[in-house]
Amino acid sequence: MLHHRSVIEFGVIGLGRFGFALASTLAEAGKEVLVLDGNENKIKQIRHLTDNALVVRELTKEALEESGIQNCGTVIVCIGEKIDVSILTTLNVISMGVPRVIAKAISFEQGSVLEKIGAEVIYPEHDMAIRLANRLISTRLMDYIALNDHMAIMELRLTKKIAGRTVLQSNLRKHFKLNIIAVEKEGKTTTDITPNLVLEENDSIVVVGKEENIKKFETFLISR
């Protein structure tokens, strides 16, 4: 493996969908990026953007040191799904003295542990859902946007089937496993969804959840 002595601006560990997009965007913006992943094909895909793309099968402290990750000014750990690997890798990078360590979390429990060991935490799917909700509403785009292989976000116009109920009474989380992340009433949008917010006919709501559950709810809204 290469051993880097000079300071590299960014290190990205993990080339999932989020990590790949992050590393690609940084590299295309002319930033120097060191990228590590265990999958050789993913590393090959990004080598045209950065010379510093290394296959690291096991993210041990020794392997991380050998890669030169400790020479980065900022390291972003993009291992959301394997929680134990995420936490251990983040801990190792912090212990190497990297000035700024950012870690992706997929749950608030995971995030709280990462914060306790000294990382800045980001929740890409939650943050993206809120941003997309606002964009959906502002552009009047009534459509699916896929967040990953299973999850989606969609704006739906409410019908009489749910009119007059509060968010708590409609209980979309229980009945359809969906979360409401934004509501538009008479042209005004809010992302502050309280249990006692009353939903009316022709309100638009933005929900996030599995595609199949969104479709079930859509069918329920238009059924007689």
Question: pLDDT tens digits for 32-52?
Answer: 999 999 999 999 999 999 989
- Of 122, 149, 181, the residue at which a domain comes to its end is 122
On whether both 146 and 170 belong to a single domain, the answer is yes
On whether both 105 and 167 belong to a single domain, the answer is no
On whether both 143 and 199 belong to a single domain, the answer is yes
On whether both 140 and 194 belong to a single domain, the answer is yes
| Mean pLDDT for the chain overall | 87
Q: What is the pLDDT of residue 142?
A: 45
On whether both 42 and 146 belong to a single domain, the answer is no
Question: pLDDT tens digits for 107-134?
Answer: 889 999 999 999 999 988 777 777 766 6
- Total structural domains in the chain? 2
Question: pLDDT tens digits for 135-178?
Answer: 665 544 445 566 666 778 888 889 888 889 999 999 898 999 99
- Whether 90 maps to a domain, the answer reads yes
On whether both 154 and 213 belong to a single domain, the answer is yes
Q: What is the pLDDT of residue 138?
A: 55
- Whether 34 maps to a domain, the answer reads yes
On whether both 37 and 93 belong to a single domain, the answer is yes
- Of 122, 146, 163, the residue at which a domain comes to its end is 122
Q: What's the CATH number where 38 sits?
A: 3.40.50.720
**Arithmetic mean of pLDDT, 79-90:** 90
- Whether 1 maps to a domain, the answer reads no
Parent domain of 144: 126-222
On whether both 18 and 101 belong to a single domain, the answer is yes
- Whether 136 maps to a domain, the answer reads yes
H or E element: which one contains 124? Answer: helix 124-139
Instruction: Determine phi and psi for 157, rounding to 5 degrees.
Output: -90, 130
In 3D space, the residue among 1, 17, 10 whose CA is nearest the CA of residue 65 turns out to be 1
Q: Is beta strand 120-122 parallel, antiparallel or unpaired with respect to 151-157? A: unpaired
Q: What is the pLDDT of residue 1?
A: 45
Q: What is the pLDDT of residue 130?
A: 72
Assign 74 to helix, strand or coil: strand
Residue 36, C-beta contacts closer than 8 angstroms, at least 6 positions apart: 11, 12, 13, 14, 54, 56, 59, 64, 67, 69
Q: What is the pLDDT of residue 107?
A: 87
**Arithmetic mean of pLDDT, 79-92:** 91
Q: What is the pLDDT of residue 62?
A: 95
On whether both 48 and 136 belong to a single domain, the answer is no
- Whether 2 maps to a domain, the answer reads no
On whether both 22 and 117 belong to a single domain, the answer is yes
Residue 94 has pLDDT above 70, yes or no: yes
Residue 172, C-beta contacts closer than 8 angstroms, at least 6 positions apart: 178, 179, 180, 207, 217
Q: What is the pLDDT of residue 136?
A: 60
- Of 122, 152, 176, the residue at which a domain comes to its end is 122
Q: What's the CATH number where 146 sits?
A: 3.30.70.1450
